[in-house]
Structure 1
Amino acid sequence: MAGTWFITGTSSGFGRLLTERLLTRGDRVAATLRRPEALDDLRAAHGDRLWVSRLDVTDAESVRHVVEEAFAALGTIDVIVNNAGFGTFGSVEEVTDEQIRQVIDTNLLGSMHVVRAVLPHLRAQGYGRILQVSSAGGQTTYPNFGYYHASKWGIEGFCETVAREIEPFGIGLTIVEPGATPTGFGTALATPPAMPEYDRTPAGDVRRARDNGTFPLSNDPEKIARAMIDLVDSQANPLRLPLGSDTYRDVRASLVARLAEHDAHRETALSVIRDDVVASG
């Protein structure tokens, strides 16, 4: 059965792949992006099943306006894909103030703007799905991605809260966590000049791996797009969907290490309980 999807960041990467695949199988897509002309070929091929609008997710008022227009034009929307993103590559000292603002405004605040704008419409229609595109970097960390991690860890905490709040309305939310994938995102990272002080640190090692092409990009973007669509088709509603061997490996290792450290401090944690609470059982 054909559905209707609203997708941000559709000029390239997962957003473009999702749009192409959905249109090919007969779905309708409301595609938003900064440069609408990037989808002229798809508009020519698929006609009015593709609704396109210019959108900068960092502009909250614009997000509300475009969402209103999309629901007015399409009637109902089954799936929201919060995909627009921006990344920086550099140690915490190297990245500029402007780059920090852009990654937080896009990945964190921009995603929040979209969720807040669509919820009244999804509640009114009594159903819907939200797919929040995060990454392995939403639960684990790598050198040179500190501000990207800040945005992704932040949006995961936000979405975990939202998922609990909207479940009674028949709305599902899944955080999608792709691993390193050759989508062009890596080459588009904002990369400030390197500081020599970080050359002989893990940040320097990761920079060299990226520069000499040995940083592994082992995941297939087409398969990731297909897995996201398959998830919606299956009607399963997990809170998180890890995609990629690196995501599975690295996030699992991070969770195991965090749990071990957490348990190691059990006695200290319990030692600060108020005496009157302990006495009362």
Structure 2
Amino acid sequence: MTTTWFITGSSSGFGRSMTETLLARGDRVAATLRKPTALDDLKAQYGDQLWVARLDVTDTRAVHQVIDQAFADLGRIDVVVNNAGYGLFGAAEEVTDAQIRQQIDTNVIGSIQVIRAALPHLRAQGGGRIVQVSSEGGQVAYPGFSLYHASKWAIEGFVESVAQEVAAFGVEFTIAEPGAARTQFGAGLVMPESMQIYEDSLVGQVRQMVMSRSYEGFGPLSNPEKVVLAMIDSAASHPAPRRLVMGSSSYTHIHEALTHRLDALEAQMDVAFSTNED
């Protein structure tokens, strides 16, 4: 049975790989990206099987227009993959106001608006799946990625709530949390001018690792093709897994973070209960 997918950020990385994989297996793909010509080779090969539109997810009006048109042209879209996003690296006081705004506008507001635009269509057709691409950075935090983490923690909280709002309509969500992988994520990082005071700190250490494209400190790297296949396979799972952790490093780091948070919570049980009204 042919499945129809809508994917944002399809020009490179997981978005491009997913588009190629789905087309090769015979599915239909509505691919959006800021430079549609980047998919000219796939369009020439697959023709009407691939629907392409220009979309910058920071343009809310365009988000609604493009998604409305995709549903109108394709009739039904089974899976919406909210993939568009990028990373901002720098200590909190190094990044500029404009960089903060762009990070939030893209990773948070852009993702929120894609979901909001898709929900009426998914409800009307009796259900569907939304895959929100996050990262292990949606549950853990590293120095220098504070704004990136802020965006991922924010969108994960949004999805947790909205998933409950629309569950009765047959709309399900999965938050994809891959670890570090051999994609163009590092090359696409936005990095402000560094401050000398941070060079000998943890921020400086991570910066050197990022600039050298050496991610060994984050653990074993994930295979991008395997990550994409796991996300595709998850769309056929019922009920939908709320979170999909991919990569042993992602699993290890998230497990450690959750364990530490749970230990800290349990240590505060007496304080928590002591603040109840008598």
Question: Cα deviation per residue 1:127-174 (whole Å; 9 max; x = unaligned)?
Answer: 100000000000000111000000000000000001111111111100
- Percent of paired sites with the same residue: 56
- Report matched runs for 1:1-281 at 5 Å: 1-216=1-216, 218-275=221-278
Residues in 1 aligned to 2:255 and 2:265: alpha-carbon distance in whole angstroms = 15
Residues in 1 aligned to 2:145 and 2:84: alpha-carbon distance in whole angstroms = 17
Q: TM-score, normalised by structure 2?
A: 0.97
Residues in 2 aligned to 1:228 and 1:212: alpha-carbon distance in whole angstroms = 29
CA RMSD of aligned residues (A): 1.0
| Preserved CA contact (<8 Å) 1:5 1:79 | yes
- Per-residue deviation, 1:30: 0.4
- Per-residue deviation, 1:233: 2.7
| Preserved CA contact (<8 Å) 2:181 2:223 | yes
Counterpart residue type for residue 229 of structure 2: R
| Poorly superposed stretches of 4+, deviation over 3 Å | none
| Preserved CA contact (<8 Å) 1:224 1:243 | yes
| Preserved CA contact (<8 Å) 1:134 1:152 | yes
Q: TM-score, normalised by structure 1?
A: 0.96
Gaps of 5+ in 1: 276-281
Decide which moves more: 70-79 or 205-214: 205-214
Give the paired residue count.
275
Gaps of 5+ in 2: none
1:278 match: none
Question: Cα deviation per residue 1:205-258 (whole Å; 9 max; x = unaligned)?
Answer: 111222334323611101100111111133441110001111100011000000
